[in-house]
Amino acid sequence: MFWHWLIQSMVLYGAGLAFTLALGQAVDWRHRRNRVLFLLLLCIGIWQTGFAFFYIGLENLIPHLLFWVLLSVLLSGPLIELFFAYLSAGDENIPNRFFLRFLPSCVFVGYYWISLLIQADSNPKYSLSGIFENENVFRSIFLGANIIYSGYILIALRSTILLAREDHQGDFKARHTIGILVLSLLCASTGSLSMLFSSMVLSKITSVEISIILLLNYLISRKYPQLLDGFVLQRKKQEQRHLLRINLDQLGKRLTELMEEENVYCDEDLNLQSLASMLSVTPHQLSQYLNERLHITFRKFVNDFRIRAAEEMLLEVRHRSILEVGLAVGFNSNSVFYEAFKERTGKSPAQYRRDTNVR
């Protein structure tokens, strides 16, 4: 009885700690990695809450509880990889194709709710076994989700090891990060075994492991708050050395040619990667050049050229509509053009043309 009570208490404690840590990340919403970590901790809190309710026998209190638990597991894997992607790249944009990793979660949500609509004539069920016809099917799906989750942890572990090799001064931070990931992999393995053998004991061990991992992560982050920043900082130092290897004067001249003579900004698909390719440098080098040498972001740099061209066109080519001018200089929609133009000039394109005509 005591051990039963202790396990339930630890699982509930883990759920509460996950939600608390998630709120802590929500306080600093500026960095994308904090937002991702908020979602990851929220998912962990949801599945810990779900497990706690199952152990206590209160699962029917929350409608579709198993749905939320399984969705949290499906989301956690891609969120872990996304977090470590932002951790290694700073807050730079991640390619859109990366978010295809969330497609299985979207398919699962669609399938689940369509199944509910099909069964609307019957009494709603609070467990997935009612949707997937039997418990064995559900366990197979949960096992698959755990295996996928384990795969994402392995990817994150590999990325951390590679970053640790580059960051010779971050061995201490790397050891703790790798340790947390190894424990998470062990936890995912135990969860998979619990589904494979239909073992409630292993399921409870998994939940306790999650609570312990959360507690360790909290204690380590309290003592070493810079733990997750070290890889990013070291990477920036390495990129600084890479920037010194290129001819900055030549880079500046070629960039000016592309923007002022070839007007590459008129291409609405122009992005950091494509412009860097034209300059024969990496996106990181170009971004660093813009930030440190010109003290401007890529988006603002390109938009400044587009707005200057739009200002001339609004006055010199008066038969063109506002939308035509915006599209001609590289904006892909009227709303984006309007927002960027007003941000730079303080006026809307129409107001700018009207006021200039009055003068």
pLDDT, tens digit, for every residue of 179-210?
Answer: 888 888 888 888 888 878 878 888 888 888 88
For 279, the token pair is 């300059």
Mean pLDDT of the 318-331 span: 90
Q: Got the DSSP string for 203-262?
A: HHHHHHHHHHHHHHHHHHHHH-TTTTTHHHHHHHHHHHHHHHTS-HHHHHHHHHIIIIIS
Q: Which of 95, 215, 83, 233 is nearest to 153 (CA)?
A: 83
Q: Got the DSSP string for 109-165?
A: HHHHHHHHHHTTTSPPPSSGGGTSSSHHHHHHHHHHHHHHHHHHHHHHHHHHHHHHH
- The CATH code for residues 1-230 is 1.20.1070
- Identify the band that residue 126 occupies on the pLDDT scale cut at 50, 70 and 90: very low
CA angle 45, 156, 208 (to 5 degrees): 35
Bigger pLDDT: 125 vs 31: 31
CA distance 34 to 40: 10
Amino acid, single-letter form, for residue 160 = T
Q: What is the pLDDT of residue 228?
A: 54
pLDDT in tens, 129-176: 454 455 666 677 778 878 888 888 888 787 777 666 655 444 556 677
CA distance 186 to 209: 9
pLDDT in tens, 41-100: 999 999 899 888 888 877 777 777 788 888 898 898 888 888 877 766 555 556 677 788
CA distance 344 to 108: 44
Q: What is the pLDDT of residue 138?
A: 66
- In the block, residue with structure tokens 């007003």: 342
CA distance 66 to 127: 6
pLDDT in tens, 325-339: 999 999 988 888 999
State yes or no: pLDDT of 20 exceeds 80: yes
CA distance 67 to 141: 11
**CATH number for domain 246-356, candidates 1.10.510.10, 3.60.15.10, 1.10.10.60, 3.30.70.2500:** 1.10.10.60
CA distance 85 to 296: 23
CA distance 83 to 159: 11
Q: Which range, of 28-37, 90-99, 136-145, 279-288, averages the lowest pLDDT?
A: 90-99
Are residues 285 and 298 in contact, defined by beta-carbon separation less than 8 angstroms? no
CA distance 108 to 315: 53
Q: What is the pLDDT of residue 125?
A: 47
Mean pLDDT of the 304-312 span: 93
The mean pLDDT of the chain is 79
Q: What is the pLDDT of residue 129?
A: 44
Q: What is the pLDDT of residue 221?
A: 75
Q: Where are the domains of the chain?
A: 1-230, 246-356
Are residues 131 and 63 in contact, defined by beta-carbon separation less than 8 angstroms? no
State yes or no: pLDDT of 33 exceeds 90: no
Q: How many C-beta neighbours within 10 Å does residue 200 have?
A: 10
Q: What is the pLDDT of residue 331?
A: 92
For 171, the token pair is 């061995």
